[in-house]
Structure 1
């Protein structure tokens, strides 16, 4: 069986090119016997290309490449043609077809797919973080969070945490109750990343009554009484004053509006 050597040349990590090569090789050699596939990632100069072509010639390898920049593709094609080395351009022909179809110029920027993947995984990580450290479940999360939300019950802490998580912010939230001391970690974090959420007593009374009814409970429970709500809000102000954090009134605000306000403040403080 004749030996086969394939060099995968890429301006990114080369994973796409390698997977395509493996798919093709498997049609001839399912067990990849007597086959070597070698990646050359992050190729970004003419010298790199010249060196790879020289090695390919010495080792009788063929070259498969995924290069986003047209200039680099042409350079590699010319070098391979000069040295009589078989080469396959995986991206170039498809880029040309797309360019003609939509009449737009390509960005010619390496690694864009992996940047999107990285962004996706950051979002997933942030969502998992928000779930793990929701409702004060583990105070240790406060020291790891990008954003900390504090407020009395029913001030949209959880939906706001999830919305911010989809913007790739790691969010922890803490409910404030007069009978329970806030976690000490809350007073150790940078107050600039902590936000107190407050709501008018009248609005909160209405929200809590609706919540009780939805749960099949009597809407005159102490949870929804004005006296209790006033007590909780007074406790809230004592805590946020001690923290020294920003207070945002969410009474007539959508979650998106509050989130955008927080994001703007966080970015300004960086």
Structure 2
């Protein structure tokens, strides 16, 4: 006798059915000791007929998630004719919800997969923000949806992460007088570049607090007003050269700045 065989049939990806079937199989058979055939994106009855025929030949079980009731009914009839065990994995739950909730199902294949795609896009954007944070790799500038530009402590990283949760790929570039910004920045579309402006007094306060939290005291050149004014002057020259939008973040929360950026990239500036 060969390995137990299961056919997974779906009018979407078939991941839901496969997951449930594997969970059930684990109660009987070790992983790798069975054969599973997934038949996704079913669009016609011929595919269903072929699957039932193959299942009959191999003494297999069929598990399916077909939200189209016509396909589901046809598959059950074909399986019954050929005496093939055929299990509707999602149908009974949908029927119960319809009765209890007094609602009609959408009967649209792949809705869970659409949610998964949204999730994975968000994860991809978060990973992008980490990879191209603080000018680590200028190659990210050309791939980014948004490029944030600013001196140290202007909330570039928190903004990048916040916008990443909106599924936007964000790179950020620190502006330091002693370091020329990468060429990629000046080749980028200025409409996707956003400068983060801040008042010298606010930046001085933020940097002093930062130094104290690190146990370094507040007298370092990092928080020196002359140094701050020099950095901000250099920043002003860079954004003028880029001719990009600028937001004053001096008294704004990250969420407020992020909403302004979202408005900008939606073409409102």
Fold in common (TM above 0.5): yes
The range that moved more, 37-46 or 112-121, is 112-121
Task: Give runs of aligned pairs for residues 155-194 of structure 1, distance below 5 A.
Answer: 155-194=154-193
- 1: CA distance between counterparts of 2:242 and 2:117? 34
**TM-score scaled by structure 1?**
0.85
**What residue number does 1:140 align with?**
139
Secondary structure at the aligned position of 1:153 is classed as coil
The verdict on how the C-alpha distance between 1:129 and 1:26 changes in structure 2, with shifts beyond 3 A counting, is: closer
- 2: CA distance between counterparts of 1:227 and 1:31? 67
The verdict on how the C-alpha distance between 1:96 and 1:153 changes in structure 2, with shifts beyond 3 A counting, is: same
**What residue number does 2:238 align with?**
239
**TM-score scaled by structure 2?**
0.85
Secondary structure at the aligned position of 1:63 is classed as strand
**Shift of residue 90, structure 1, vs aligned partner:** 0.4
> When the two structures are aligned, how many residues end up with a matched partner?
268
The range that moved more, 55-64 or 14-23, is 55-64
**What residue number does 1:9 align with?**
9
- 2: CA distance between counterparts of 1:183 and 1:248? 21
- 1: CA distance between counterparts of 2:160 and 2:35? 49
**What residue number does 2:264 align with?**
265
- 1: CA distance between counterparts of 2:209 and 2:32? 65
- 2: CA distance between counterparts of 1:4 and 1:218? 70
- 2: CA distance between counterparts of 1:252 and 1:151? 15
**What residue number does 2:209 align with?**
210
The verdict on how the C-alpha distance between 1:209 and 1:20 changes in structure 2, with shifts beyond 3 A counting, is: closer
**Shift of residue 126, structure 1, vs aligned partner:** 2.1
The verdict on how the C-alpha distance between 1:20 and 1:183 changes in structure 2, with shifts beyond 3 A counting, is: same
- 2: CA distance between counterparts of 1:119 and 1:31? 30
- 2: CA distance between counterparts of 1:30 and 1:202? 66
- 2: CA distance between counterparts of 1:91 and 1:141? 43
Preserved contact between residue 25 and residue 32 of structure 1 (Cα < 8 Å): no
Preserved contact between residue 26 and residue 32 of structure 1 (Cα < 8 Å): no
**Shift of residue 163, structure 1, vs aligned partner:** 0.9
- 2: CA distance between counterparts of 1:19 and 1:126? 27
Runs (5+) with no aligned partner, structure 2 = none
**Shift of residue 5, structure 1, vs aligned partner:** 4.3
The verdict on how the C-alpha distance between 1:137 and 1:107 changes in structure 2, with shifts beyond 3 A counting, is: same
**What residue number does 1:226 align with?**
225
Runs (5+) with no aligned partner, structure 1 = none
**Shift of residue 2, structure 1, vs aligned partner:** 7.5
**What residue number does 1:77 align with?**
76
Provide the alpha-carbon RMSD of the alignment.
2.7
- 2: CA distance between counterparts of 1:217 and 1:223? 11
- 2: CA distance between counterparts of 1:203 and 1:27? 63
Task: Give runs of aligned pairs for residues 35-114 of structure 1, distance below 5 A.
Answer: 36-56=35-55, 61-114=60-113
The verdict on how the C-alpha distance between 1:141 and 1:28 changes in structure 2, with shifts beyond 3 A counting, is: closer
